Amino acid sequence: MNTRKNPNPQGKGLVPVLQGLQKHWDTLVVPPKHIDQISIELFTSLFVLQSEFKFAPVVGNQYWMYEKAGQFRLMLVGPGEWGATLPGRCIGLCELQKDRTWTLELQPEVAADIQFMQEIDDRRLRLENMLEKAASLEEALPSCEIELGYQGRVLAFILGRSLRASMQLAGINSLSYSEAKGLLGRD
């Protein structure tokens, strides 16, 4: 009897990883974007990707974010489909866009929750500080986000590539955050 543990129990060797990346890259649609749009999409996308989820999200499909005991989970099932046993407070509706950024439509009661919105503002401020400290915008984009789950890592990598391509099309990729912000008033 072989008692050796399987070092790859989920079957996520190099070939499936590369296939997953290629699947996203082949269908990526990337428009040019200004820095405010980049920073909003980066924040929202990272917030969603930091949630726990164990499925491969599909572009255009809707997913639901729930929060329980400070932990966020992305799920396939909406709040009206659970009956009386919700897996936590419903935060909102998420959707993966063609450019692999995420949108998040907060539930009205969550948007009115002062404590939750303060946490969001604090997170947004931390991201803005990180962007300001980076030598260039490209340096601040996600690439290999070890703390994320498998699907989150794949999508964070593609998100970084997508936003980099958008910034290249807009001509701001090599600029610092403050330099890119300075261009907004010149339009």
Phi-psi region of 83 (alpha: psi -120 to 50; beta: other; left: phi over 0): left
Inside any domain, residue 43: yes
Give the residue-averaged pLDDT of 50-77: 95
Inside any domain, residue 147: yes
What pTM did the predictor assign?
0.83
| Strand-pair category, 62-68 with 89-96 | antiparallel
Structural domain boundaries, residue 62: 31-186
**Structurally, how many domains does the chain consist of?**
1
Higher pLDDT: 83 or 42? It is 42
Give the residue-averaged pLDDT of 159-187: 87
Residue 12 pLDDT > 70, yes or no? no
Contact 87, 68 (CB under 8 A): yes
Inside any domain, residue 9: no
Closest by Cα among 95, 117, 110, 114 to 45:
95
Inside any domain, residue 26: no
Inside any domain, residue 8: no
Helix/strand/coil percentages in the chain, nearest 5: 50, 15, 40
Q: Give the lowest-confidence range in 71-80, 90-99, 100-109, 152-161.
A: 152-161
Inside any domain, residue 124: yes
Inside any domain, residue 57: yes
Inside any domain, residue 5: no
